[in-house]
Structure formats: structure tokens, C-alpha cells
Amino acid sequence: MKKFILLIIFFATISKAICQHESIGNHTPEHEAPFHKLSLVMANSLINNNVEENSNTLLLVPTFGVNYDYFFHKKWGIGLHNDILLQQYKVERHDNNEELLRENPVAVCAMLSFKPHHRWTLFGGYGVELEKHENISLYRFGIEFGIPLKDHWELGFNAEYDHKIKAYSSFMFGVAFSKMLFKKHDKLLSD
């Protein structure tokens, strides 16, 4: 956890240093509030306390997600981030070292987002990992770097840390394809 927090601080510091030379006039309308952001995420999750036989200590699990964010201010937003891990695996619980079977768990998290710069987003929140054997509460923290594309699309690179309460932890690294939806476009569509 300490390494992840240091990584976020490092990226925020580097981002601020790199972006200080940009003028305010270069601020693009894609980041004017309010706007909605829909994202499709393709990622891999690293799980560090895997207990499968004949296995390394790290397990790499393919992960897909669908995220919705509403930015009510140019720097602040709220959202719902959802993902599914596409594999069955066993992990060791933090609290009592017992084995826990996970089969295609789905995480649903309420998130708060902060944009220190129009390319960087920091987010954190609380949610639940739903699975047929046992549901587990979790905290999620992450960072995303977005590259604007044509027609209000964005390519994002993200890293997330999930701490499943009294269970296990995972890191997720992925790519997100996002579409920005603005109020002014809603007016054009209704005309």
C-alpha cells in the first residue's frame, strides 16, 4: 500500500512539473464541466497471495470493466466503476490464512475523482466484490493518464489498487477507451 501511495505522489509531482509550461489558453473544451464520461477498460489484475498448487506467488488475471463518471466541476467528479475478473482462482485471506475460492468476481465501486491536470485523474472509493461463494467489501484507489482523441474520445492508461477487506489485495493495470458526453451535445441531439 505504501508503494502505491508513493507511486501516486510521484506521478502527480512529475505531471505538475511537466505541465507547468502549458498555458491556460491551451485548455480544451473537452474538460469543461459538467460532462459525462463512459469508459471500456481492458486490463490485467495482479494477485499476490495466490495459493494454487505448482504456481508462482503472483497470479495474472484478465479483467474487463465498464466505468461511468460525472464531472460536476472541472476538477471533481463522481462515478460507478465496475469490472469482472475472468478466471477462477484461490487466494489466502488476510485475517485467518484460510483459502478463499473466487470465480469470475464482479466489483462494483462508488468513486470520487479529482483531476489535478486535464490529462491526469486520481480516484478512490468504496465498493463490493460480488461472487457466488462470498461477497467482499473493498477500497479502491487509482490513477489514470488520458490522451484526447477526435470527436471527444480519450485513450487512458490506468493503474488501480484494490484492498479487499479481510481478504486479499490486487493491482490492476490497463487501457481505457472513453467517450465524453457534454450538455451542449444533448441540446444539439434534441433539436
* Domain ranges, ordered by start, for the chain: 2-15+47-190
On whether the CB atoms of residues 74 and 50 are closer than 8 A, the answer is: no
pTM: 0.75
On whether the CB atoms of residues 126 and 110 are closer than 8 A, the answer is: yes
Give the tens place of pLDDT for each residue, 42-79: 999 999 766 655 555 788 999 999 999 999 998 999 99
CATH classification code of 2-15+47-190: 2.40.160
Rounded-to-integer distance, Cα 68 and Cα 180, Å: 10
Largest separation between any pair of C-alpha atoms in the chain: 62
The grid coordinates listed for 5 are 501511495
Nearest CA to 170 among 43, 19, 6, 35? Answer: 43
Say which residue, 167 or 10, is predicted with more confidence: 167
Taking 80 as the threshold, does the pLDDT of residue 172 lie above it?
yes
Q: Which residues pair with 137 in a beta bridge?
A: 128
Least confident of 11-20, 53-62, 73-82, 107-116: 11-20
